[in-house]
Amino acid sequence: MSQIDKTVFISYRRTNKFTALAIFKELTAKGYDVFFDYTSIKTGDFSQIILREIRARGHFLIILTPSALQRCNEPGDWVRREIEYAIEHKRHIIPLMFDGFDFGDMAEYMTGDLALLRNYNGLRVPVDYFDAAMERLTDDYLNIPINTVLHPTPTDNLKDVQTTIQFASSQPTPDIAQLSAEDYFERALKRPADDLEGRIRDYNQAIAKRPDFAEAYNNRGIAHFNNGDYNKAVEDYTLSIEYNNPELFRPYISRGNVYFTQEKYDLALADYDEAIRLNPEDDEAYNNRGVIYRKRGRYNQALEDFHTAMKYNPTDASPYLNAGLVHENLGNFKVAIENFEKYIDLDGRRADEVKGWIADNKAKLDSQK
């Protein structure tokens, strides 16, 4: 039977946590029962609580900013998992589209069931008209009959759910500086990839308004790295780590990449090890660590890392190329050829070079038969 339902789940990317908190405050003040994981650390049993809360609530709000979907092509990404779970269980999904977000820019990330998200009736939320958008959200989007089978929170999880909601409720209402910092962060991402100075200026503004903005330090570090300023990049990645909570493993990979470029391999290894400890399914950390093992002649460890990277991201070409190079060093030309051919199937950047090597060594193998 259709009825008005006032239970809401808010899904968001951690870079937008103050925007999510502002929405949480608005809805709870108007009598909505809102689940909002302010800490955004989805580990252990709590990851199952998150999914159960999606099923326990009629409305599913997803905060869409330029950064919101950009990691949805990574294995195990939680934003993607939450959206697809809400679609699977037929929640009333409302995309909240903030300034700078455009589904047309997200095509490469919106694969599989996630592509269905663009079919839902979304609400534009202009930064300067946030209050008006919240009025429209409650009056027009949430205040409608829905026909959804709810699955109440299991008794064993009630305490954790209530604690999570109470913690979010105890947080101060976000101020203008916090929300503005997120706006500058998103503005940087909308700039052309080669506008490094513009991105750095926006990240400077974001950090000035919110000095503990770990993701802004990380992204400014990326811009410095791409600008060739490795020392500033390391400084920013280190600050990102200092202000980080345990879920953010990216700065370790990014700093490890700088150390790798500087041939400081011991430091790079330590960072890749830590990234893998924090996220055991990150293919990039395994691949990059494997390259260092290969350079040091630790071929078995290198191959183990390359195979793990393939397992977690079978569409990335790099581990196949790197595994092929190891087998070439070991004289396993047949296996090397198989890996190189797989690399060519996935990526053509070094195709001509690799094809020449394959042809030469196939001829050698044929002559040995």
Q: pLDDT band at 44, cuts 50/70/90?
A: low
Mean pLDDT of 232-255: 88
Both 136 and 261 in one domain: the answer is: no
- In the chain, how long is the greatest CA-to-CA distance? 79
Structure tokens at 215: 């993701």
Q: Evaluate whether 214 touches 181 at the Cβ level (below 8 Å).
A: no
The DSSP letter of residue 104 is: G
Both 127 and 197 in one domain: the answer is: no
Q: Nearest to residue 97, comparing CAs of 79, 78, 118, 74?
A: 118
Q: Evaluate whether 38 touches 17 at the Cβ level (below 8 Å).
A: yes
> Of 170, 193, 228, which closes a domain?
170
Q: Which pLDDT score is estimated for 39?
A: 75
The DSSP letter of residue 141 is: I
Mean pLDDT of 258-286: 95
Both 166 and 186 in one domain: the answer is: no
- High-pLDDT (> 70) share of the chain, %: 95
Both 190 and 314 in one domain: the answer is: yes
> Of 125, 151, 170, which closes a domain?
170
Q: Evaluate whether 255 touches 232 at the Cβ level (below 8 Å).
A: no
Structure tokens at 118: 């663009």
Both 207 and 274 in one domain: the answer is: yes
Both 336 and 297 in one domain: the answer is: yes
- Average pLDDT over the chain, rounded to whole? 90
Q: Which pLDDT score is estimated for 368?
A: 56
Both 47 and 132 in one domain: the answer is: yes
CA 111/CA 94 separation, integer angstroms:
19
Q: Which pLDDT score is estimated for 366?
A: 64
Pinpoint the alpha helices (H) of 30-129: 45-56, 78-88
Both 133 and 86 in one domain: the answer is: yes
Q: Which pLDDT score is estimated for 38?
A: 85
Name which of 8-12, 22-26, 106-110, 349-353 the model is least confident about: 349-353
Asked if pLDDT for residue 350 goes beyond 90, the answer is: no
Q: ∠20-284-78 over CA atoms, to 5°?
A: 25
We report the CATH number of the domain holding residue 132 as 3.40.50.450
Mean pLDDT of 51-77: 91
Q: Evaluate whether 114 touches 83 at the Cβ level (below 8 Å).
A: yes
We report the CATH number of the domain holding residue 350 as 1.25.40.10
| Run of H or E residues at 123 | strand 123-125
Asked if pLDDT for residue 369 goes beyond 70, the answer is: no
Mean pLDDT of 36-51: 76
Mean pLDDT of 261-265: 96
Residue 27 structural domain:
3-170
Q: Nearest to residue 268, comparing CAs of 284, 252, 250?
A: 252
Mean pLDDT of 161-176: 92
Number of domains in the chain: 2
Mean pLDDT of 149-171: 87
Both 141 and 189 in one domain: the answer is: no
Structure tokens at 108: 């490469």
Mean pLDDT of 86-108: 93
- Rg of the chain taking only CA atoms, in angstroms: 23
For the chain, count helices (H), then strands (E): 16, 7
CA 322/CA 148 separation, integer angstroms:
49
> Of 114, 149, 170, which closes a domain?
170
CA 322/CA 94 separation, integer angstroms:
43
Q: Which pLDDT score is estimated for 124?
A: 96
Both 280 and 296 in one domain: the answer is: yes
Other beta carbons less than 10 A from residue 171's beta carbon: 14
Q: pLDDT band at 41, cuts 50/70/90?
A: low
Q: How many residues does the chain have?
A: 369
> Between 40 and 46, whose confidence is greater?
46
Both 204 and 313 in one domain: the answer is: yes
Taking only the tens place, the pLDDT of each residue in 273-317 is 999 998 898 899 999 999 999 999 999 999 999 999 999 999 899
Both 362 and 314 in one domain: the answer is: yes
> Between 46 and 137, whose confidence is greater?
137
Q: Which pLDDT score is estimated for 1?
A: 44
Asked if pLDDT for residue 127 goes beyond 60, the answer is: yes
